[in-house]
A and B are shown apart, each in its own frame.
Chain A
Amino acid sequence: MIKAAHLVKKFGSSTAVNSISFDVKEGENLILLGTSGCGKTTTLRMVNRLTEPDSGTIFLNGTDIRSQQPETLRRGIGYVLQNHGLFPHYTVAENIAIVPRLLKWESSKTGKRADELFEKLNLDPAIKDKYPAALSGGQQQRVGLARSLMVNPPVLLMDEPFGALDNLTRISIRKEFRVLDELVKKTIIMVTHDVQEAFEMGDRICLMDKGEIMQIGTPEDLLFRPANNFVANFLDEQRLQLELKSVLLEEILPGSAKNISVWDQMESLLQVNAYPDDAPGDALTIESLMAAFSKYKKR
């Protein structure tokens, strides 16, 4: 769906992005991960031409994005920012109607779509006439997302979408967004510096450093088959947690419940163990789970 080839971008004498290439398949979540200054945001902004590359090309559905007017291109691509970027002088309803208005939608259609998204995103319809400053951080972020989803663009670009939220809100919104049907179908490129977030949200992760791609692959690729020392070191600090989260229960114990990560299983076991009387006799224990996991790793 999206194909980037040999992108280069220099700001003055420093090279922000140095000849990178990647593909994003339809419906896939690609995470651009890295520390600040690694070029991930610059890469993202080249996709909707907020930044023009010095050389290299990006194809969207096989056509060069430069063959379109940048404004037309951007209206077809959702864009979510860290600081939500809501217009402070527009009410919530007006904010989410910006792109539909640019595309000359009828107001009844806009209203219907807004109602639909409000419900899906757990937003109280009463806030529609409020100004962004009157909303909580979580609400602002949801409205920001609603705004980018209004015209149902096939591609969504997210730049640190949870960056401005406090820890608790961030984790809960992340969980919600992950299962949101509107997002599941979309082709998403998301920028983050948070490793946990990348592993939770990403189908594939593109780890960047100093303008270059260190490795691009699934979470498990990065964890268990690091391309180089940088990748291994980058993940080391949170390695155990990441591994437990990215390995599925059925992978280490064939025949067990599907789509549950080892981490989730451990969480539920620990909760059960707080009340030992309720524990079923033949159930999995933490000890046996850990044993299976280390066996899987040694394989």
Chain B
Amino acid sequence: MDQTQTFWQFVNQQSDKLWNQTWAHIGLTMISLILAIIIAVPVGILIARKQKLSGIVLGFAGVLQTIPSIALLGVMIPFLGIGPKPAILALFLYALLPVIRNTYTGIMEVNPAVVDAAKGMGMSKWQILTKVELPLAFPVLMAGIRTATVINVGVATLAAYIAAGGLGEFIFGGIALNNSNMILAGAIPAALLAIILDFLLSLVQKINLKSIRVSWLILPFVFISMSSFYLLPTQIGGRMLGGFTPEFMGREDGYLGLKSVYRLGIETVVISDAVMYKAAFEHKLDVISGYSTDGRLKAYDLITLKDDKGIFPPYYAAPVIRNEVLTKYPELEAVLNQLSGSINDSIMTALNYKVDQLKQSPEQVAMDFMVSKQLYKPSKKGTKGTVRIGSKIFGEQYILAQMYKILILGNTDLTVLTKTGLGGTKICFDALTNNQIDFYPEYTGTGFLVLLKPDKKTIKQLEGNTDGVYQYVSQAFNKQFNIKWLKPIGFNNSYALMMRKEQAQSLRIESITDLTNHLKHK
């Protein structure tokens, strides 16, 4: 990837993808919104008639609203799988509250004298609803629909986590790959989409409706015609389906390498690693991209495919720390290096398994390990200063952050603040360079390919050379970012393709080449 590429070049180059994602985004937003309107407006009318129900219904819709989106998406995978269905259901649930509440409020705010007059003149209940109550409640109702639309455009970015497409693919891919152009190519259209849809709906809101019937016909028509552009991104047929993280999709030692080196032709969807393993286990995906030390491998009975052409070189994990911090607290380097050499691949996998599958807390796992290796010392409760440890948002990083915390508290007079769960490589690294954290565990491969983005020649030269990559990033980070790579912890972490054990065995797939051949001959 060319480092000096401008935003417009990126958009030009990726225009196909951008259009697909934008339409998918509109489709997700609109379909869920229409469903929400179809359900929520009658519910709003009902609770305006039966006041006793209003508390329960609004409370329930409010509770739905507070469920974190990614959690809601995760919960739905066993029932609805991955792809647009769970995404639309989740967006639908989020859109319910504003529409129900505004329909209810709008109808309740209609002057009772007007309704009384309508009744007294001999209008039927249906006539009162369609000619008096709904037209008068319409502006408030539309305000609710507008709120729901803006919410949905925002939440729909998360649909990328469960392979439903949308502009989230670029946004999260960009965050994972440290590619600002990619982030903007997703974020700007999403923002524009919210503004444009809101504006269009504001025009509809201003229409003075004598009778709601006209709009009843127009609105769904507009929405549906817009939604029809949305071609569901997954036509899951007989072929195998690969689910890869946004980061994997954009990396040379990821999907790009799979395509160029192995000529792997597999249908892919973009998905978050938080739900990826589970989706594979649930037979929603067949091939996923994972980390070789991930504890969930064991938990979900997955096996890694042999990388027989060596596109996933092993990379060291090591703490990266700002030089300023080391100058201020020179004792820190030796303390952090105590961990070096004590964790190999299988130990790390076992530790990850405890957190990911046995649901032990990272604190507990880290503590048990440190005690067993005699690295634990009681906290000195020092007051010299504070060190801020960051971590990315997966188990392994949480465990490492806790280990470093134990080391620092026991061996120095410093206190520790952990800022765990930073969303991705870019967020973590930006936090480091912007003096929001002091260090975090990073992987040399990520530092090399994602953060430094060297030219093709350098990549070729250092391919598979684990130590060479470590040397290269150490020097480059020191020079470019004033950041030091400490000693590697000992285990390697690399990408791996994974499949369900039983499926791989029954198809006799052991390596990525086997997989490529299997897909070719099908």
Q: Tell me whether B135 is interfacial, beta carbon within 8 Å.
A: yes
CA distance A166 to B356 in the complex (A): 76
Which residues of B lie under 8 Å from residue A81 when comparing CB positions? 113, 116-117, 120
A296 to chain B, nearest CB (A): 43
Check A88 against B111 for contact (C-beta < 8 Å). yes
Cα–Cα, bound, A147→B209 (Å): 21
Range, interface on chain B: 10 to 19
Chain A residues whose C-beta falls within 8 Å of the C-beta of B132 in the assembled complex: 87
Which residues of B (113-130) have their CB < 8 Å from a CB of A? 113-114, 116-124, 127
Nearest A residue to B125, CB-CB: A71
Of all chain B residues, the one with the shortest Cβ separation from A150 is B121
- Assess whether A50 is in contact with B121, with CB atoms less than 8 Å apart: no
Residue in A71, A76, A87 whose Cβ sees the most chain B Cβ within 10 Å: A87
Q: Total contacts A to B, CB within 8 angstroms?
A: 63
Question: How long is the Cα–Cα vector from A148 to B121 in the complex, in angstroms?
Answer: 8
Contact with B along A216-253 (1 / 0, CB 8 A): 00000000000000000000000000000000000000
A74 within 8 A of partner (CB): yes
Q: Are B113 and A75 in contact (CB under 8 A)?
A: no
Chain A CB within 10 A, most for which of B114, B132, B210: B114
Check A83 for interface membership: any CB of B closer than 8 A.
Answer: yes
Residues of A near B285 (CB, < 8 A) are: none
CA distance A71 to B119 in the complex (A): 8
Kindly list chain B residues whose C-beta atoms are within 8 Å of the C-beta of A31. none
Q: Closest Cβ of chain A: how far from B126's Cβ, in Å?
A: 10
A76 contact set on B, CB distance < 8 A: 122
B121 touches A86 (CB 8 A): no
Contacts of B466-500 to chain A: CB distance below 8 A: none
A75 touches B122 (CB 8 A): yes
Please determine whether A87 and B118 come into contact, CB atoms closer than 8 angstroms: yes
Instruction: Report the bound CA distance from A82 to B114 in whole Å.
Output: 11
* B114 touching A48, Cβ below 8 Å: no
Q: In the complex, A90→B209 CA distance in Å?
A: 9
Cβ of B288 under 8 Å from chain A:
no
**40-97 of chain A: CB within 8 A of chain B:** 48, 50, 70-76, 79, 81-90, 94
At the interface, yes or no: B215 with Cβ under 8 Å from chain A? Answer: no
Q: Which of chain A's residues have a CB closer than 8 A to the CB of B121?
A: 74-75, 79, 98-99, 102, 147-148
Are A89 and B116 closer than 8 Å at their CB atoms?
Answer: no
Shortest A255–chain B CB gap in Å is 47
Q: How far is the CA of A139 from the CA of B116 in the complex (A)?
A: 20
Least Cβ–Cβ distance between A44 and chain B, in angstroms: 10
* B113 to A: closest C-beta gap in Å: 4
A144 nearest CB neighbor, chain B only: B117
Q: Does the CB pair B123–A87 fall under 8 Å?
A: no
Q: How far is the CB of A4 from chain B (nearest CB, A)?
A: 18
**The one of A48, A82, A90 that contacts B120, using a Cβ cutoff of 8 Å:** A48
Q: Indicate if the CB atoms of A89 and B123 lie closer than 8 Å.
A: no
Q: Which residues of A contact B127 (CB under 8 A)?
A: 102
In contact, B117 and A89 (Cβ under 8 angstroms): no
- In angstroms, Cα B135 to Cα A37, docked, is 33
User: B123: which A residues are within 8 A, CB to CB?
Assistant: 71, 98, 102
Whether B208 sits at the interface, judged by CB under 8 Å, is yes
In the complex, whether B136 has a CB less than 8 A from a CB of chain A is yes
Query: Measured between alpha carbons, how far is A262 from B121 in the docked complex, in Å?
Result: 40
Contact assessment for B114 and A86 in the assembled complex, using a CB-CB cutoff below 8 Å: yes
Identify the closest chain A residue to B119 (Cβ). A50
Q: Would A89 and B136 count as touching, CB distance under 8 A?
A: yes
Docked Cα-Cα span, A3 to B114, in Å, equals 28
- Specify which of B117, B122, B135, B210 lies most central, judged by the most chain A CB atoms within 10 Å of its CB: B122
Contacts of B210 in A (CB 8 A): 89-90, 94
A interface footprint on B96-116 (CB within 8 Å = 1, 0 otherwise): 000000000000000101101
Can you list 12 residue pairs at the A/B interface with Cβ under 8 Å? A48-B120, A50-B120, A74-B122, A79-B121, A84-B117, A85-B113, A87-B117, A88-B114, A98-B121, A98-B123, A99-B122, A148-B121
List the 6 closest A-B pairs by CB distance, nearest first. A85-B117, A75-B122, A74-B122, A79-B120, A83-B113, A71-B122
B-binding residues in A (CB < 8 A): 48, 50, 70-76, 79, 81-90, 94, 98-99, 102, 147-148, 157
**What residues of chain B have their CB less than 8 Å away from a CB belonging to chain A?**
111, 113-114, 116-124, 127, 132, 135-136, 208-210
| Besides A76-B122, A85-B117, 8 other A-B contacts (C-beta < 8 A) | A48-B120, A73-B122, A74-B120, A81-B120, A85-B113, A85-B114, A90-B210, A157-B120
